[in-house]
Structure 1
């Protein structure tokens, strides 16, 4: 089974400003701080309009169903990567080293009237018999919460 997550984040800023923010290590650090992670490491490399953004974070596992806590334990390492081909589109992956599952898809930016919409389109697969579908739902909910936090920090960052 696979669950799909498509989430839009709208910013009152031109595309170039939003793209710069998403490539800014200081912005990514603020997001990690707001998410109250245990530790994090942000790496950004750029080549013209292309960029590779990797955020590795360790966070406590709280507020998830018991079946999810059993699989991941009381803390988890998450590796989030955005491989931007240019200012408007890239590949988006989230990995949990040593855990069964895959989260991958795309990220894109589009501007209209001075506002920019970031669209994250992901497929979430957890390869565990019997409980995989339930865990996929939990992962989608956690990803939505993380994207909402990123958006809140982004709105303040751009203000």
Structure 2
């Protein structure tokens, strides 16, 4: 059974300003520098911005020794996470996109939709995630562990984004 989570990052900045940050290669390179403080191998593998929007692939490697015991019981090597983010062309009312994350030969899937839209106080980037793990007996625990860590990731990314915009916009 899949588990779902919706997370909203609220910004004091207009949606167009947030979109411009997400459209910047420097933004992603700077974010990878921050990720490397926790995950030494964190890289932008693909970055395309064109008339179709933003198309991005991030690759991070988590050492097996850093994984929680329930995860290291299933993952027998370092965990390589490939994350794909797509956000359509900017639209002032709502910009929509998708994201996925995968682990080679991983025992599950993570998919989601995202939308960036204006609010009275700035803008919101809402991400709705679905996690499925196909390991009997521990699937629910692993799905919950992934979602808890995803909230921490999204929260950290939102703080980074707000700080980066304040310093660079």
TM-score for the superposition, normalised by structure 2: 0.85
Who is 1:29 aligned against? 29
Indicate which of 100, 124, 134 corresponds to 2:131. 124
1:119 CA drift (Å): 0.3
CA distance, structure 1, for counterparts of residue 34 and residue 106 of structure 2: 25
Q: CA RMSD in A?
A: 1.7
Residues 1-159 of structure 1: matches in 2 within 5 Å?
1-35=1-35, 36-42=38-44, 43-48=46-51, 50-61=53-64, 62=66, 64=68, 66-73=69-76, 75-87=78-90, 88-113=95-120, 115-159=122-166
CA distance, structure 2, for counterparts of residue 74 and residue 56 of structure 1: 16
Structure 1: unaligned runs, 5 residues or longer: none
Structure 2: unaligned runs, 5 residues or longer: none
Q: 1:59 to 1:32 in 2, by over 3 A?
A: farther
CA distance, structure 2, for counterparts of residue 23 and residue 70 of structure 1: 38
Task: Report runs of 4+ in structure 1 exceeding 6 Å deviation.
Answer: none
1:68 CA drift (Å): 1.3
- Residues 112-152 of structure 1, C-alpha deviation per residue, up to 9 Å, x if partnerless? 23511000001000111111111001111111111111111
Higher relative contact order (CA 8 A, sep 6+): 1
1:49 CA drift (Å): 5.2
Q: 1:149 to 1:73 in 2, by over 3 A?
A: farther
Count residues with an aligned counterpart: 158
